[in-house]
Amino acid sequence: PLPEADHQACLAGVDAAIALFASRRDELIAKSDERAFERARLRLVGMRAFDTSIYHLSRGDLELANPPRDAAMADVLLTFQRLEFPDRRAVVFAHDGHVLRRSDEVLAGQWRGVKNVGTLVAEALGDAYHAVGQVSLTTEIDWFGGPQTLDNDQPGHLEPRLADLGHDFALVDTDAATTMGLWMAGTGYEVGFDTLIPAQHYDALVFHRRSPAADYFTPPPF
């Protein structure tokens, strides 16, 4: 585990720097510009979130590791959206667990009670935010300890219902699918690692019958 003393020392230093930035914001921007200020501020925000997340992960506590990381990620996305492309659409690729909205309302899973990136961004942008998930009947991944294959063809999972449509690939409008009876309205289904009501958390789902593992140019260091 990450030593407690090291963690507290990091927090104390970063918090002092963040407080300094907040108290001297106008002065620092006047000596540079807002973009430079925000980029520097986000480095501090990211450092604090990373240290806190790793601290809790090193103790096996995923529930405490997720909130600081995703709050910082949302800060990064919203800040860059405001400064770099305020009048343009942006597409962000991330794990489904990060992009779904109203994550704190999932019926079961690691996000229950926790606001992820998608939820925080949706609260800031309203209807301008659209969540699109990616699911598959068979998922091959290269995460820690990989490669491994996840079989989602299980009772209670949403993926078999999409597979029954007979397509290897499909783009599914979750509201339309609910109206058509592809799944029951208000009923929770397992999607990846969470149990949730599809249309409540996603606008659409991209379905793959089989999602192959990444073919890296250079193998990742994990």
At 81-138, the pLDDT tens digits run 999 999 999 999 998 999 999 999 999 999 999 999 999 999 999 999 999 999 999 9
> In sequence order, what are the beta bridge partners of 194?
191
Mean pLDDT value across residues 155-160: 93
Q: What is the dihedral of CA 173, 177, 183, 184, to 10 degrees?
A: 110
Q: 95 and 194 in contact (C-beta within 8 Å)?
A: no
pLDDT of 84: 93
Taking Cα atoms as reference points, which of 141, 146, 140 lies closest to residue 222?
146
pLDDT more than 70, % of the chain: 96
pLDDT of 1: 86
The pTM of the full predicted model, rounded to 2 decimals, is 0.90
**Cβ neighbours around 149 below 10 Å, total:** 13
Long-range contacts of 153-158 (CB under 8 A, 24+ apart): 154/190, 156/189, 156/190, 156/195, 157/189, 157/190, 157/191, 158/183, 158/189, 158/190, 158/191, 158/198, 158/205
CA–CA separation, 48 and 127 (whole Å): 30
pLDDT of 222: 56
Q: How confident is the model at residue 221 (pLDDT cuts 50, 70, 90)?
A: low
Question: CA angle 18-88-126, nearest 5°?
Answer: 70
Residue 217 scores a pLDDT above 90: no
pLDDT of 213: 83
pLDDT of 145: 66
pLDDT of 214: 78
